[in-house]
Amino acid sequence: MVAASIDWKIRVLQDPSQPRATVDGKKVLVLCSNNYLGLSNHPRLRQAAIDAVNARGAGSGSVRAIAGTMDLHAALEKKIASFKHTEAALYYQTGFAANAGLIPQLVGEGDTVISDELNHGSIIDGVRLCKAERAIFKHANPSDLERVLNELDARPTPPRRILILTDGVFSMDGDIAPLKEITGLAEAHGAMVYVDDAHGDGVLGEKGRGIVNHFGLEGRVHVDMGTFSKAFGVVGGSIAGSRDLVNFALNKSRTWLLSGSAPPATVAACIAALEVLETEPEHLARLWENTRYFKKELQSLGFDTGISQTPITPVIVGESSKAKALSELLFEQGVFALPIVFPMVAKDKARIRTMMNAELSREDLTVALGAFEKAGKQLAII
């Protein structure tokens, strides 16, 4: 991998996750963090973590199902359910653990799982672990999903259960899944809907409640899965839905049952993140203001920002070598933005993926746009 130059270049952050930080010994503007709202450094989250260490210690001591469920875990799950307007919720150690642990339990032999072709790797691994038959529908394409559903219905023995899986916001292009149409089709064909809203949690919907709220689909989506590792600024995965779903998930998800539970500081910070979202709407407003401004300015410089509808803003440049060169030139000018290359995206769609952040000032954005303009001209991209 090293010889073929396809190994990942790991840069090291020597400050908190914030827009102006030291990376590999250099002060840079960070345009590739998932800490969309800056909550990782919010004083309420920091204090909640400190208080939890003082009150409950550094670790939980066990897996959730034995002695590792603290009152904090229970309080967080209550808060998630209230935030998501669902009956119940379950907190996992990570979003990856939620997908890998729950998907293989929801469907098995005699069932079919239908997945968007661009779904995240954690969904793909969850699907690989299940014994159900697998089908793919074209990216964000309800007509193609309908074709697959019709074909399944027309069989002499249709599947016992059908599970439709989709990302809420797609992490490479920043586009939003057509969840309304997907849910309508699922209802017409008696299928379940599972949405992975890792990049929509804290970003879409009223107060950042996510894609289900954004489309007014509360009560109609079976599994609303999310993460605390992005806009919520901490770490951990979640599922929200009915009480029956949560009881099923906690009895069946091996990642939840057989792996140590999150430490008190993490859980307390997650609770504080939800409280901040409920009470401080300014973070979300600034995130979207920055997103609109940055995207518009990049486009007026002549960059191709693809089909993004969210703070994930790709700058599509073509070949992998060009994306890597652009990232290097940006870093030289003090802007940290990573290239995304084949096989993560198509060979001719390599890009710099920028993520907007509520904490970036207008001055920061002007500096970043200046660096993009200079490097883009140097590489004849614009």
Ligand X SMILES: Cc1ncc(COP(=O)(O)O)c(C=O)c1O
- Which of 116, 173, 196, 359 is close enough to bind ligand X by CB under 6 A? 196
The count of residues interacting with ligand X (CB under 6 A) is 13
Q: What is the amino acid identity at position 95?
A: G
Cα separation of 342 and 348, whole Å? 8
Active-site residue flag, 171: yes
Active-site residue flag, 296: no
Task: CB nearer to ligand X: give 115 or 122.
Answer: 122
175 binds ligand X (CB under 6 A): no
122 binds ligand X (CB under 6 A): yes
Q: By rule CB under 6 A, what string of x and - marks binding of each residue 129-168 to ligand X? A: --------------------------------------x-
Task: CB nearer to ligand X: give 267 or 371.
Answer: 267
266 binds ligand X (CB under 6 A): no
Task: CB nearer to ligand X: give 53 or 124.
Answer: 124
291 binds ligand X (CB under 6 A): no
Cα separation of 113 and 104, whole Å? 10
What are 198's two structure tokens? Answer: 């890792």
116 binds ligand X (CB under 6 A): no
- Structural Rg of the chain based on CA atoms: 21
Cα separation of 369 and 296, whole Å? 11
Which residues, numbered 58-77, are part of the site for ligand X (CB under 6 A)?
Answer: none
Cα separation of 138 and 8, whole Å? 29
Are residues 135 and 186 in contact, defined by beta-carbon separation less than 8 angstroms? no
Span from 18-26, 108-116, 195-203, 214-222 in contact with ligand X (CB under 6 A):
195-203
- Which of 35, 227, 266, 320 is close enough to bind ligand X by CB under 6 A? 227
38 binds ligand X (CB under 6 A): no
Active-site residue flag, 230: yes
Task: CB nearer to ligand X: give 172 or 371.
Answer: 172
194 binds ligand X (CB under 6 A): no
261 binds ligand X (CB under 6 A): no
CB of 136 to ligand X, least distance (A): 17
310 binds ligand X (CB under 6 A): no
Task: CB nearer to ligand X: give 40 or 171.
Answer: 171
Are residues 123 and 134 in contact, defined by beta-carbon separation less than 8 angstroms? no
- Cβ-based neighbours of 116, under 8 Å, separated by 6 or more: 136, 137, 139, 140, 165, 166, 167, 177
Residue of 42, 73, 230, 324 marked active site: 230
Residue of 120, 199, 214, 349 marked active site: 199
Which residues, numbered 81-100, are part of the site for ligand X (CB under 6 A)?
Answer: 94-96
Q: How many other C-beta atoms lie within 10 A of the C-beta of residue 172?
A: 19
Span from 100-108, 191-199, 296-304, 307-315 in contact with ligand X (CB under 6 A):
191-199
101 binds ligand X (CB under 6 A): no
- Which of 40, 171, 213, 313 is close enough to bind ligand X by CB under 6 A? 171
CB of 29 to ligand X, least distance (A): 22
Residue of 40, 60, 122, 171 marked active site: 171
Torsion of CA 289, 294, 300, 303, to 10 degrees: -140
Task: CB nearer to ligand X: give 171 or 290.
Answer: 171
Active site residues: 171, 199, 230
Q: Which residues contact ligand X (rule: CB under 6 A)?
A: 94-96, 120, 122, 167, 171, 196, 198-199, 227, 229, 237
